Copies of this chain bind each other. A is one copy, B any other.
Amino acid sequence: MIVVMQQGAGEAEVNQVVERLTKLGFGVHVSRGVEKTVIGAVGDRRAAEPDDLQTLPGVERVVPVMEPYKLASRHFHPDDTVIQVGDVEIGGSEVVMMAGPCAVESRGQLLETARAVKAAGARLLRGGAFKPRTSPYAFQGLGEEGLKLLAETREATGLPVITEVMDTRDVDQVAYYADILQLGARNAQNFSLLKELGRVGKPVLVKRGMHTTIEEWLLAAEYVMASGNHQVILGERGIRTFETATRNTLDLSAVALVKMLSHLPVLVDPTQGTGKNKLVAPMSLASVAAGADALLVEVHYNPRLALCDGPQALTTEQFGDLMRRLRPVAEAVGRTMAGAEPGVRVAVEAAETPKAPLAGKVG
């Protein structure tokens, strides 16, 4: 750690910093320049948050030399982490597609969507049972009923299930039903929830907050890992910027950079990242080219009836088309990608699924 003192900082201030650093276990070296004094500190950055020092009297700036995360760092774990979910490997040579509706609404909606995305090449099913909504008056998800429908659909289709958890009190329940637990962007710095996810025996998708830096994102992963769960997938879903033409600004540089900084697999959510149906396909292609290990895409069987975000979702037909376009790009960057089941035209298959026996059930 390097501490740059303000111009005019006196001996007392320098000594106070030295004292504090020594107390925290750092070895200290003071360099006095003509105009400013710089203090170098060698030791474990984890002993101190930069903010704690940054604001000592006379301190102008604290420059961390080491990353504050260890378990998530590629430096201490050079090989890629590969996470196994059923027969799917996330972080291996295959680019893994996870797809499904924004929110679980009914057995029929979920099952038909699941069958359609599976036929097109999806390897996991996504669907929200607990939904973070900006307004208290909006549909908040089916809760445990939704989790049960997800589990039921897994039985019917063989697709493992990923779903969000929003409350520390729900972690055990969600872990019981789901195959991957998702931490949403709005809880990206909900440290209580992160710790709780560290006590679970299932993989966790740690989404980046719309306001969190790459370092903070990796520290969120570190929270989960430091609590004992090393099965972490990092998820980029767009950051908040001044641009309003897209809902968020999808940060694909972060994907490439995080692959260098960390050994953890990286997923991209182009649906949330752009908020625009028409941008999902080009951003999916770009994500794979940038090095993403997985994609999380909203697909809706019949967007016209969706209670939540449906129409930014792809139709099953659009999803089948996307899968066909993704495979050559994956191969062009040396990856593989599952494709449509042989002889199947996704949209047709989906359209022909009988609707009757699935009707009149849950929702």
Contact = CB atoms under 8 A, between A and B. Distances in A.
Nearest to A273: B253
Interface stretch (A38-46, A113-121, A153-161): A38-46
Given A135-B68, A275-B54, A31 B36 contact: no
Interface string A179-197: 0000000110111101100
A213 interface: yes
A109 interface: no
Interface string A282-323: 110111111100000000000110111111110000000000
A282 B290 contact: yes
- The CB with the most chain B CB atoms within 10 A, among A51, A256, A286, is that of A286
As for how many copies of this chain the complex holds, the number is: 4
B135 A219 contact: yes
B279 A285 contact: no
Interface stretch (A82-90, A144-152, A238-246, A344-352): A238-246
Interface stretch (A164-172, A199-207, A355-363): A164-172
A312 B226 contact: no
Interface residues of A, number: 117
A80 interface: no
Contacts of A275: 51, 54-55
B245 A215 contact: yes
Given A283-B256, A304-B16, A169 B169 contact: yes
Interface in A258-290: 260, 273-279, 282-283, 285-290
Contacts of A133: 49, 191
A207 to B, nearest CB: 13
B31 A135 contact: no
Nearest to A191: B132
A65 B222 contact: no
Contacts of A214: 243, 245
A45 to B, nearest CB: 9
Contact of A253 (B63, B255, B283): B283
A29 interface: yes
18 contacts: A2-B2, A2-B38, A49-B135, A51-B312, A54-B275, A54-B312, A55-B309, A57-B303, A68-B135, A135-B222, A136-B195, A136-B226, A168-B168, A168-B169, A214-B245, A246-B253, A250-B253, A331-B332
Given A246-B253, A282-B289, 7 more contacts: A52-B138, A135-B222, A136-B191, A167-B168, A250-B253, A253-B279, A288-B289
Query: Nearest 3 CB-CB pairs, A to B?
Result: A211-B211, A55-B312, A256-B282
